Chain A
Amino acid sequence: MKKGMFSQYGGQFAPEAMMHAINELEEAYLYYKDDPDFCRELNELLHHYAGRPSLLYYAEKMTKRLGGAKIYLKREDLNHTGAHKINNVLGQVLLAKKMGKKRVIAETGAGQHGVATATAAALMDMECEVFMGEEDTKRQALNVFRMELLGAKVHPVTSGTRTLKDAVNETMREWVSRIDDTHYVLGSVMGPHPFPTIVRDFQKIIGEEIREQLLKAEGKLPDAVLACVGGGSNAIGAFYDFINEPSVRLIGCEAAGRGINTKETAATIATGRTGIFHGMKSLFCQDEYGQIAPVYSISAGLDYPGIGPEHAMLWEQGRAEYVAVTDDEAVEAFEYLSRTEGIIPAIESSHAVAYAMKLAKEMTPEQVMVVNISGRGDKDVAAIARYKGVEIYE
């Protein structure tokens, strides 16, 4: 029987050696997700450790300058460890603990998921090892040291393109080689079932809070919700609660890199096609023979050749829209939000800000848009300086 399908996408395309652990995880998740003790413990962690609920901030200056829709920012950047990643990680590490696992492993791109995993592992007394593309360990050197400071061991991955996709490959291999005492904390809504569902369930709190907070502030639902998409965890978290509200436009912003007509892009929906990889049937950037394409984006967190299966479904159904945002546009938005609102967004989140700046002008002042600021930009400061030709090192 096929499990974890989102229309034709999803499934469990995992090596046989992984299936035992995957089934064990599914069984544990189905039990604990409704277990009152588990839910209470997770809620406590989210509120008293991660700092939830995160603010929904009315960006008044941005709204006035752009002269269109009223813009709210969902401040996931204010969470402990500085990104939405902590929501999923606290859930999964707590689950792993309940399952009797002693060790967690994770892949990371920008380093935010790795830092979050190392943080939760430190808190819950688990061993932690993080796999990160060697290219990304250079782009995000500070996050490598941060993970080590938290007691994690960081493995630079030197296979393939040495970025996020290769980090996922290596973490999957590591899991298969030591599955008994180890849980793989997958960082996005991707991979074989049950991961896309587990990660989405732990992230959907973002959209639930947006609904409640906006109803309080404006007495209505948003007209549009925007989020950046790599694998798509912050986006699905922001979208999920609104999928059955047809009046709410859901807009995912992919990384176009140097442009969707160049080879240096990571825009999966714009340039990819259906394939089977990393445990799931979904959309992937690939060549005519199905070799996975080396993708590129200035943002290490969006530098991934696939997208979660639920996004592929939402795209196919036309329920969500996906747009591509270039490096240049993202960097401009990074600077814009910093100067206009005094908020330095992650370069990943800046992709959503960039599209918000275009879209707001096309909307009316009676309309409301919410932009998910999935993470903070402190980690990106040195890389942005280099992009602009300023040689500073962390």
Chain B
Amino acid sequence: MSRITAAFQEKRALIAFITGGDPDIETTKDLIPAMAEAGADIIEIGIPFSDPIAEGPAIQAASLRALTSGTTVDKLFDMVQEIRQSVRIPLLFMTYANPVFAYGTERFLQRCSDCGIDGLIIPDVPYEEKEEFSPFCKQYGITLISQAVPAFEERAAMIAASAEGFVYCMPASGTANSPIEASAEAINKLKHTVSIPCAVEIDNTVPEQGNAVIDCSDGLILGNQIVKIMDEHKQNCIPFVKAYLKRVKKNYSVQ
């Protein structure tokens, strides 16, 4: 069983996103083990990109902080290699197509594999363009995570059918203000079509009790909540991030 699959066993996995190098690489290096200790089951490390078109203002600002502090792909690889000695949970890289392509897709995935990265999420590579990256992911044993919008049922089912690790479900913002029950129903439908877990990204800063979407999910993706804490507390963020994760973990990890 892969480390990613194991993270979903008998619990709702808590998947936490941070931007690597925000506000600097030293902070990230201390933060990742602290997050693992506070209950994160999977950590997504964003490789900052100059033009994150799929992100809102919080992650845009975090990317800029990271780039301003001199973060590069090479520095992140070195950092991951170091913390891998002590951190056992799955670590994913999330970045845009161009930083991977510019590094050399094969070279990038080889380094991922060497330093102990488990998976890769590329938000500007949809199903139609997976082939650009998936052969190299397979070759180096890196899980390429697929994103889907469950509200687009047919498309989501098509994506999920060939997804690996877990399905990264995104809210259908921008479509007729779908009530939360409708989103939950769409996720439930999707879950019937796949054998791998469906994790959902949530927008709320503090997830509400009894949220129907969370209730039906196999994993909870904290997209920008920790990034916002980082913005507020910068280098002093660790106790605040830990406290936040512990709270979410306590309330939501039981399925």
Nearest residue in B to A170 (C-beta to C-beta)? Answer: B53
Contacts of B1 in A (CB 8 A): none
- Mark out the residues of chain A between 297 and 318 whose CB falls within 8 Å of any chain B CB in the assembled complex: none
A interface SS class: mixed
Given the interface contacts A17-B173, A275-B98, does A291 sit within 8 Å of B50 by beta carbon?
yes
Q: B31: shortest Cβ distance to chain A, in Å? A: 22
Contacts of B159 in A (CB 8 A): 16
Roughly how many angstroms separate A291 CA and B174 CA in the complex, as a whole number?
Answer: 28
- Mark out the residues of chain A between 1 and 40 whose CB falls within 8 Å of any chain B CB in the assembled complex: 1-3, 11-17, 19-20, 23
Roughly how many angstroms separate A393 CA and B16 CA in the complex, as a whole number?
Answer: 51
Q: Are B98 and A2 in contact (CB under 8 A)?
A: no
Given the interface contacts A275-B101, A275-B102, does A17 sit within 8 Å of B51 by beta carbon?
no
Given the interface contacts A180-B174, A279-B124, A289-B72, does A15 sit within 8 Å of B54 by beta carbon?
yes
Given the interface contacts A2-B129, A17-B174, does A289 sit within 8 Å of B102 by beta carbon?
yes
Roughly how many angstroms separate A169 CA and B57 CA in the complex, as a whole number?
Answer: 12
Q: Are A16 and B49 in contact (CB under 8 A)?
A: no
Contacts of A11 in B (CB 8 A): 128-129, 132
Given the interface contacts A179-B175, A276-B101, A277-B97, does A165 sit within 8 Å of B54 by beta carbon?
no
Q: Are A19 and B128 in contact (CB under 8 A)?
A: yes
With an 8 Å Cβ cutoff, the count of chain B residues facing the other chain is: 41
Q: B25: shortest Cβ distance to chain A, in Å? A: 14
With an 8 Å Cβ cutoff, the count of chain A residues facing the other chain is: 40
Q: B97: shortest Cβ distance to chain A, in Å? A: 4
Q: Are A277 and B54 in contact (CB under 8 A)?
A: no
Nearest residue in A to B73 (C-beta to C-beta)? Answer: A289
Binary flags per residue of A258-284, CB closer than 8 Å to B gives 1, else 0: 000000000000000011111101001
Show 25 A/B contacts (Cβ-Cβ < 8 Å), sorted by A: A12-B126, A13-B126, A14-B124, A16-B123, A16-B148, A16-B159, A17-B173, A19-B155, A20-B155, A169-B53, A173-B54, A173-B55, A176-B174, A180-B174, A180-B176, A276-B132, A281-B132, A286-B102, A289-B73, A290-B98, A290-B102, A290-B103, A292-B50, A292-B51, A292-B98
| Additional 11 contacts, C-beta under 8 A, given A19-B126, A169-B52 | A15-B126, A17-B173, A160-B51, A173-B53, A176-B54, A176-B174, A179-B174, A276-B96, A277-B51, A290-B99, A291-B50
